[in-house]
Copies of this chain bind each other. A is one copy, B any other.
């Protein structure tokens, strides 16, 4: 197109694709260009505003490392990450939620009933539940990869005072599909605010807080992997999670328990418990993977 105008530039773009373009890539790039162009037209975007947008991504590029990904954070606070989660969630089963940047590879394998708290500060919590299929039957041999903040609101990778694998664990279910471990109650924390995303939150009057949560990745053969989070029902940020991660079925009650009630629950805990504690029960329902469904 020789005489490109603001009216025909989108069609001009769409006509540039080569015939051998992968159809799915073409679909994605067409939709991206249509929406990007519509955004610029709708807002009558100025050169200065375009430059400011470029500054955001340039700054994000400068500070992004494998450990600190400002582009993922940008996607998170714009709701894109959660939307992709939801689009790809099966209708049945436990809702998925954002992975976030704090998962680490090769978490330490632990025996069911293990203790993550050790001498660390924080409220003692017993976390129990089952991994189930959509018929409510237990799934044996499911792995639960679990991670959370310490009581200071920091993940181990953010905190030089913590061991690398502090509050990270990998469990495998037995025939009954049950899991159980003791830990500390996770606490609220902020997403990193020292980059352009922090500036954007500030400029739009948004806080950087996330409600407290336990992270899970559950995998089992023949089932779709599930990345999710569990939130306490008394958290002040449930209705305003800055990364849009809360789903109704992921909000659970942490029930206060007297010391003597513990631990006669049909599983062996490694921690000797002689104090009051909280207990949260959270069953995780997996859907069958597409190839075996």
Given the known A-B contacts A79-B10, A244-B4, are A204 and B40 also in contact in the complex, defined by CB atoms under 8 Å?
Answer: no
Number of identical protomers: 2
| A45 contacts partner chain B, Cβ-Cβ < 8 Å | yes
| A292 contacts partner chain B, Cβ-Cβ < 8 Å | no
Minimum CB–CB distance for A290 against chain B, Å: 12
As a 0/1 sequence over residues 2 to 44 of chain A, the CB contacts with chain B under 8 angstroms (1 = contact) are: 1111100110110011111110011111011101111111111
Query: Which residues of A (224-265) have their CB < 8 Å from a CB of B?
Result: 238-242, 244-248, 251
Query: A45 contacts B205, CB within 8 Å?
Result: no
Q: Chain A interface secondary structure, helix, strand, loop or mixed?
A: helix
Query: Which residues of A (187-225) have their CB < 8 Å from a CB of B?
Result: 200, 203-206
Given the known A-B contacts A13-B244, A61-B71, A244-B13, are A205 and B32 also in contact in the complex, defined by CB atoms under 8 Å?
Answer: no
| A80 contacts partner chain B, Cβ-Cβ < 8 Å | yes
Which one of B6, B84, B238 lies within 8 Å of A45 (CB-CB)? B84
Residues of B within 8 A of A21 (CB): 203-205
Residues of B within 8 A of A9 (CB): 79, 82-83, 86, 244
Residues of B within 8 A of A88 (CB): 44, 46-47
Residues of B within 8 A of A36 (CB): 35, 78-80
Q: How long is the Cα–Cα vector from A220 to B39 in the complex, in angstroms?
A: 32
Q: Tally A residues with Cβ within 8 Å of B.
A: 78
Residues of B within 8 A of A293 (CB): none
Q: 22 A-B residue contacts at CB 8 Å?
A: A1-B239, A2-B246, A2-B248, A4-B82, A4-B86, A13-B79, A16-B206, A16-B242, A17-B204, A17-B205, A18-B206, A21-B203, A21-B205, A25-B204, A27-B43, A31-B42, A32-B78, A33-B78, A36-B78, A50-B75, A54-B71, A61-B62
Instruction: Beyond the given A9-B86, A27-B43, A50-B81, please list 18 additional residue pairs across the A-B interface where CB-CB is below 8 A.
Output: A1-B239, A2-B248, A3-B246, A3-B248, A6-B86, A12-B79, A16-B242, A18-B205, A20-B205, A21-B205, A28-B49, A32-B78, A33-B78, A40-B84, A57-B57, A57-B71, A58-B69, A61-B71
